[in-house]
């Protein structure tokens, strides 16, 4: 009886983790078209499963393709998409910081998104051109 209860709890936790991962994947897929419109491509993607699942991706773009005024417009246009707004605000803050650093010849920007608890967005400026990654041709499919 105890083993049966333990198995039931494990299945319940597994189902909850899968649901949470699906929601994170939905948020990521909703944010992707806007990030692509800013010139970003997906460099890599990762996923971790546990009690709290995590989905992460690195997106890269040329610094020449990023327009800080456009970032502000997109934040105002998509206030309901928390994942996108967090990434865009991180990008906006990084660009403001970059302006105060001076004349460093950055050629690329990388957004490192980790969607989980807690979510994390990291921004890095690259001194070399970002390699041309293979962008995802379609949204990432959810497991049925």
- Pairing of β 108-115 and β 41-48: unpaired
In a domain, 39, yes or no: yes
Each residue's pLDDT expressed in tens, for the chain with a length of 144 residues: 565 665 566 556 555 656 666 776 788 888 899 999 899 999 999 988 777 788 899 999 998 888 888 999 999 999 988 889 999 999 999 888 887 877 778 889 999 998 887 888 999 999 887 754 443 444 555 554
Q: Vertex 59, ends 117 and 20: CA angle to 5°?
A: 30
In a domain, 110, yes or no: yes
In a domain, 136, yes or no: no
In a domain, 138, yes or no: no
Is pTM, for the whole model, over 0.85? no
How many domains in the chain? 1
In a domain, 68, yes or no: yes
């Amino acid at each position: 009886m105890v083993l049966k209860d333990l198995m039931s709890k494990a299945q319940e936790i597994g189902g909850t983790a899968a649901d949470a991962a699906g929601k994170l994947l939905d948020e990521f897929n909703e944010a992707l078209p806007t990030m692509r419109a800013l010139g970003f491509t997906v460099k890599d993607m990762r996923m971790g499963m546990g009690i709290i699942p995590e989905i992460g991706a690195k997106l890269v773009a040329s610094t020449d393709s990023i327009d800080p005024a456009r970032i502000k417009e997109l934040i105002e246009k998509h206030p309901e998409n928390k994942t996108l707004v967090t990434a865009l605000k991180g990008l906006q803050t990084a660009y403001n910081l970059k302006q105060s650093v001076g004349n460093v010849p950055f050629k690329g920007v990388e957004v490192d998104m980790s969607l989980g608890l807690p979510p994390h967005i990291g921004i890095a400026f690259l001194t070399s051109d970002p390699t041309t990654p293979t962008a995802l041709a379609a949204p990432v499919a959810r497991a049925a």
